[in-house]
Amino acid sequence: MKKNLMLALLMALMTCGFAMASQPPYREDLTLKEYLTQIDYLETSYDDQTRFKGDACDFDDWDMDTVTDCITDSLEDYLLGEIGSFLKELIFGSDGPSYVNLTQESLDKIQAIMNQELVNMVKYDMIADLASLETGIKQYHASLNSTPDTILLALIDTEARNLVNHQVFNTSYHPDAKMLTGHLAFATSLRLAILVEKEHLGLTTEAFVRSEGQNLADKLSALGSAADSHINSRVYLQHTGGSTIGCQIYKNADAEPETVAGILDVQEKWGNCPRALVYDLFGGRTKVYQYTVYGQLYYRLALNYRDQLRTEYRANVKGPNYDSILADLRGL
């Protein structure tokens, strides 16, 4: 009965306009859900099946975080489904983005708040390793037009493993390594994409890919947590002053907060009235929110400003999609 229902549904799909040539081969061991998943992939990809449009893939505006999110969002689909080679995707080919350029652009956003020694190590060591890996991935992508080059695949697998273990991501080697959380996420995505490709060719097991995904998720999570703690220690709020008794509000609550050079100037100007100072030890955007300027809103406004700065620094250090990338890895 169940098999007859499945066959009836499949016949109905074929009569609704699916071309026979574009359908995956029917196998009795496939569930209907699995078969429909394959059809959905074929209907949303190019004819040569070289581009998977996952929900996280935005091909109009490349950056390192976007590429990472696109790859990790697609890992499970390729690991579970039989929808072809993952490294045949356009993001891995010569028409895709330059990993080196994206990495450098991301580094440019944060190098001013990093130790210069580590910045130089990224520029002249880690990025050189990434350039070699990128070349290998694109050469392997080209080999898929005929026979997959499994020797080359083994080589780029080794390079990707070495990249995620690079000393620039090791806080024991350099305390500022946590500032490269987004770069580790990108390296992790490339490592797992290669492992999924090896699993597709029968060169490793699904269990190993999932295990490695969890190990890399743990490493990324630890580095991300260290980055959060560091950012919180450098961008923080300090509340000073005493009672509001006798404190007059001199300006309306829409006024811009004063910019202060130091706490002593503020104390001399405002006496002992309550104030909240938001310190930015990264970019020097310290601001003071006075009760005498904002009334009862002063503390809430200070909290909002502190959180705004922290969010901005986290996005530059970890990537805006860090949470979803980590969730994708945990979901393997």
pLDDT in tens, 174-222: 999 999 999 999 999 999 999 999 999 999 999 999 999 999 999 999 9
Tokens of 168: 């620039």
Whole-number Å distance between alpha carbons of 170 and 178: 8
Question: Quick check: 153 and 194 in contact, CB under 8 A?
Answer: yes
pLDDT in tens, 34-74: 434 443 433 333 333 333 444 446 556 789 999 999 999 99
**CB-facing half-sphere around the CA of 99: CA atoms within 13 A:** 28
Strands 275-280 and 287-290: antiparallel
Whole-number Å distance between alpha carbons of 206 and 29: 19
Say how many Å lie between the first and final Cα of the chain, rounded: 34
Whole-number Å distance between alpha carbons of 276 and 253: 14
pLDDT band at 14 (very low <50, low <70, confident <90, very high): very low
- SS3 assignment, position 260: coil
Q: What pLDDT is stored for residue 241 in this prediction?
A: 76
